Amino acid sequence: MTAKGFLTDTTVCIGCKACEVACKQWNQLPDDGFVFTGTSYDNTGDLGASTWRHVAFIERPGKHPTDGFADLSWFEGDEAPGAKPAFGPDPTGDFSWLMMSDVCKHCVHAGCLDVCPTGSIIRTEFESVYVQPDICNGCGMCVAACPFGVIDRREDDGRAWKCTLCYDRLKGGMEPACAKACPTDSIVFGDVDELRQIAEQRVATLHERGVEEAYLYGESAESQPGTGGLNAFFLLVDDPEYYNLPPDPVDPTVTVGDSWRAAAATGLAMVAAVVGVFVSIGKAGR
Amino acid sequence: MTDDTPRFIGDQGRVGDAVGAEQQRDSGHDGYPAPGRTDHRRPSLAAEDGSPTYYDQPAIKEPVWIWSVPAYFYTGGVVAGAALIGAVAQLVDRDGYDGVVRRCRLLAAAGTALGTAFLVHDLGRPTRFLNMLRVFRPTSAMSMGSWTLAASSGTAAAAATLPSLGAPRLADAAGLAAGVLAPPLGTYTAVLVSDTAVPVWQSTRRAMPALFGASALSSATDALDLLDLDEHEERLTRRIGIVAKTGELAAAVTVERAAEDVHERVARPLREGLSGGLWRAAKLATATSLVLSLLPVPKRLRSLRRILSALAGTVGALATRFAVFHAGTASARDPRATFEPQRERSGGAGSVAARRVGAGTETQTGSV
C-alpha cells in the first residue's frame, strides 16, 4: 500500500486546536494536566504520551507573511469602506502569530522503531509508525531516540505512546480525526506522493504572492536525509527552530555504527590489557 | 482567501483532487528551491539576538530512565571486568589463580542478577521484561544488550554454581563463555546511550565506549580489592587497576573534547550543574585511586592502600556512570544543544545525513 501521511500547511492554521480536541476525543487520551504556560495561547506545550496533536503559537514582531491575502471586503461592507475588521490581521502590524499543528512525523527511517528492543513499534501497511500497546514494556529507549521529542512514556501506565496516524480509522477507510476536524485544511491527509505535489504547488503559489519564506520541512529524503524524509511533513515560513523543529534531525541508527566500532576496539583493548598484565606477572606459582 | 488560492482537498481524504497540480508545478515555479537542495536554511522573519527556540522549551524528550539505569551501567561494568579477568586467569593458570577465578565468577553471577533487577525495575511495565527477548534487532543497542546480558547471566551463573554441583569442566566452559561476552557487555551500554537523540550522548559516541570499557575493568578490580586477596592476587588487581584507571581518565578527557568539538553547548552539562559536579568528582576520585595505587608503601600498609584505592575507585566509577546519565538529562533539556550543532552542519557537505544519502545505504554512518 502507498504511504499515507499528513501535510500540515502552517500558513492557513488559525490555531483553533480542533485537531488537538478531535485527537484526544477519538483516541480517548487522558488529560495531561491543566497547565498555564504563560508564554502564549499555547497551554498544551508539547507533544507527549497523551498529546498527539499540539498547536504551537509563535508570537513574533511584524506582520504575518500572508497578511493581506484575505479579502475582507465582504466583512467591511459597502457602508464602511476601508474600515478595519474587529479581528483578523493585526491592523497595526506590530506583531503576528505563526501557528502550527505539530504531530508525529512518521519518519521514513524512524529512530523510535529502529531502537525498540521488543518489536512493539512497527511499520504498518500505511507506512506509518505504530506502537503496539500490548507489547511495549516501557523501556524508554524510543523516548530518548526520537529526534523530534514526540514519543513519551505515560507515567501512570508505564508504556510509550504517540500518534497512531489513527490506525483504527485508516483501517476503516476514514481519514485521521485531526485532519477530519481541521476547519481550514491546514492538516491534509493523503498519499504522501500526492501530498508532496500539493505542497510544492502551494509553496510555488506562496512564492508567487511574495511569501518568499515559504518552504517545505521534511518532505523528502533529499531535504532531510537523517530521517529519510517524513510521512507527516510541514509547510513553514520561518526557521524550524521557532516551531520547535530540529533543523537537521537524524535517526540515531544512522550514527550508532561509529559507537559499535569504538566498542569493538575498546573490547579488544580490554582483553589486551588483562592478558598483558597476566603475562607480566606470570603464573600464580602456588 | 482569494479565489485563486488553491483549495487542497475536501473531506474524506480525497487527496487525489489536486486539480492541475502538475501544470501548476511546471509554471510559476520561480524561486522555488528544486528538490534535492541541500541548504534548507531560510531567512528568519523574527531576527532576534540569540538562536531561535520555541519559548526555550526542550526540543527533545528527556530520557525517562531512573537511577537504576546508571546503577546498572556500574554493575554491568563490574560483571564485564570480573568475567574477563576470571576467564583470562583460568586460561593462564587455572589452579594457581583458583581464588581469583572463584571470586570473579561470584562477582559476575551476583552482578548479572543485581543488574538485571536494576533494569527490570526501570521498566514501565516490569512484568513484561521478557519481551526484551521477543525480537533480535541489530539496529537497537538495547536489544543487543538484552541478549548479551541474558547470555552473560546464564553463563556467569553456571560458572559460579556448577563447581559445587560436581561439574567443574562445564563450569570452566561457562566461565570462558562469560569472558567472551564480557567486552560487549561492558561497552554496549555506551553504545546504548549514543543510540539516542540526546546531544551530549550522540556527540560523544566514538569516545564513550572507551570510558565505559575502562571503567568496567577498573570497577571490577576495585570490587575484587574489597574482597580478601593474597599478595599475589593483590599484585594482579593493582596492575590491572592502574592500566584501567589511566585509561578511564584519558577516556574522560576524550569524551569532553568530543563534546566540545561538536559544540560548546553540547559540552556544557559536563561542566555545569549536577552532572558537571559528578563528572569532576568522578575524575578526582579516579585520579585519587590511581595515585594511591602507585604510592610506594611499606608491606604492612599494602592492604590499607588497596582498600582505600578501591573505595576511591568505586566512588569514581559510580560517579562516572551517574555523571554521564545526568549529563544526558541536562542535554535533552537544552533546546540549543539540539538545535545549534544541527544548524551549523545542516546542508553542509560533510553532514551525516548528506553522506548517508550519498552512500545510499541505510546503515551508512558518518560524522557530525
Block residue for cell numbers 607480566 = A280
The helix (H) or strand (E) run that includes residue A72 is none
Q: Look at residue B335 and tell me whether its pLDDT is greater than 90.
A: yes
Query: Is the Cβ of A262 closer than 8 Å to some Cβ of chain B?
Result: yes
B133 and B150 Cβ atoms separated by less than 8 Å: yes
Query: Considering only CA atoms, which of A226, A224, A144, A249 is closest in space to residue B366?
Result: A226
Element (H, E) at B115: helix B98-122
**Partner-chain contact A190 B64, CB within 8 Å:** no
Strand, coil or helix: B100: helix
Q: What is the mean pLDDT of residues B19-25?
A: 36
Query: Which pLDDT band, with edges at 50, 70 and 90, does B309 fall under?
Result: very high
Nearest CA-CA distance, residue B339 and chain A, Å = 6
Phi, psi of B305 (to 5 degrees): -60, -45
Asked if residues A168 and B169 have their Cβ atoms less than 8 Å apart, the reply is: no
The tens place of each residue's pLDDT in chain A, 286 residues long, gives 689 999 999 999 999 999 999 999 999 999 888 888 888 889 999 999 999 999 999 988 877 888 777 655 555 554 444 444 444 555 555 778 899 999 999 999 999 999 999 999 999 999 999 999 999 999 999 999 999 999 999 999 999 999 999 999 999 999 999 999 999 999 999 999 999 999 999 999 999 988 989 999 999 999 999 999 999 999 999 999 999 999 999 999 999 999 999 999 999 999 999 999 999 987 765 4
Residue A96: how many CA atoms within 13 Å on its side-chain side? 22
Q: So what's the pLDDT on residue B359?
A: 37
Give me the pLDDT at residue B180, please: 98
Q: How far is CA B152 from CA A179, A204, A281, B35, B177, in A?
A: 49, 59, 28, 49, 8
| A117 contacts on B by Cβ (under 8 Å) | 132, 135, 137, 140, 142-143, 145-146
For chains A and B, what is the number of CB pairs under 8 angstroms?
A: 419
Distance, in Å, from the CA atom of B344 to the CA atom of B95, rounded to the nearest integer, reads 59
Q: Is it the case that residue B347 has pLDDT exceeding 60?
A: no
- pLDDT per residue over B310-333, tens digit each? 999 999 999 999 999 999 999 999
pLDDT at A265 (0 to 100): 98
The answer to whether B250 and B203 are in contact (CB under 8 A) is: no
Closest CA to A205 of B17, B37, B45, B3: B3
Query: How many CB atoms are located within 10 Å of the residue A73 CB?
Result: 10
Distance from B88 to chain A by nearest Cα, in Å? 7
Residue A73 confidence (pLDDT):
52
Given this model, what pLDDT does residue B363 score?
36
Q: How far apart are CA B81 and CA B217, in angstroms?
A: 4
> In whole angstroms, what is the distance from residue B122 CA to residue A161 CA?
17
Residue B55: which region, alpha, beta or left (left: phi > 0; alpha: psi -120 to 50)? left
pLDDT of residue B98: 93
CB of A75 closer than 8 Å to CB of A109: no
Q: For A176-185, B132-141, B200-209, B337-346, which range has the lowest pLDDT when averaged over its residues?
A: B337-346
Chain B interface includes A65 (CB < 8 A): yes
Q: How far apart are CA B304 and CA B297, in angstroms?
A: 10
For residue B200, what pLDDT is reported? 98
B140-174: per-residue pLDDT in tens? 999 999 999 999 999 999 999 999 999 999 999 99
* Predicted pLDDT of residue A83: 47
Taking an 8 Å cut-off on Cβ atoms, the answer to whether B205 and A262 are in contact is yes
Q: How far apart are CA A246 and CA A242, in angstroms?
A: 9
Sequence letter at residue B163: P
Determine the straight-line distance between the first and last CA of chain B, rounded to whole angstroms.
44
What is the per-residue pLDDT for B28? 30
Bridge partners, A230 (sequence order): A107
- Those of residues 79-108 in A touching chain B at CB distance below 8 A are none
pLDDT at B238 over 50: yes
Cβ(A251)–Cβ(B195) under 8 Å?
A: no
Residue B271, pLDDT score: 96
Which are the contacts of A50, defined by CB distance < 8 A and separation ≥ 6? A24, A29, A30, A31, A32, A154, A161
Q: Cell numbers of B258, please?
A: 568530543
User: What pLDDT does residue B368 have?
Assistant: 36
Q: What is the pLDDT of residues B202-229, one digit of tens each?
A: 999 999 999 999 999 999 999 999 998 8
Mean pLDDT (whole number) for B70-75:
98
A22 Cα to chain B: minimum distance (Å): 15
Question: What is the pLDDT, as a whole number, of residue B322?
Answer: 98
* Single-letter amino acid code for the residue at B330: A
Amino acid present at A225: P
Compute and round to an integer the Cα radius of gyration of chain B.
26
DSSP one-letter string for A10-23 = GGG-----HHHHHH
Q: And the C-alpha cell for B337?
A: 544543544
Pairing of strands A53-61, A95-103: antiparallel
CA angle B100, B102, B105 (to 5 degrees): 105
Q: Output the nine-digit C-alpha cell for B33.
A: 528551491
Query: Do A22 and A181 meet the contact criterion of CB atoms below 8 Å apart?
Result: yes
Mean per-residue pLDDT over chain B, rounded? 84
pLDDT, tens only, B276-285:
999 999 999 9
Predicted local distance difference test score (pLDDT) of residue B51: 82
Spatial distance between the Cα atoms of A148 and A106, rounded to a whole number of angstroms: 11
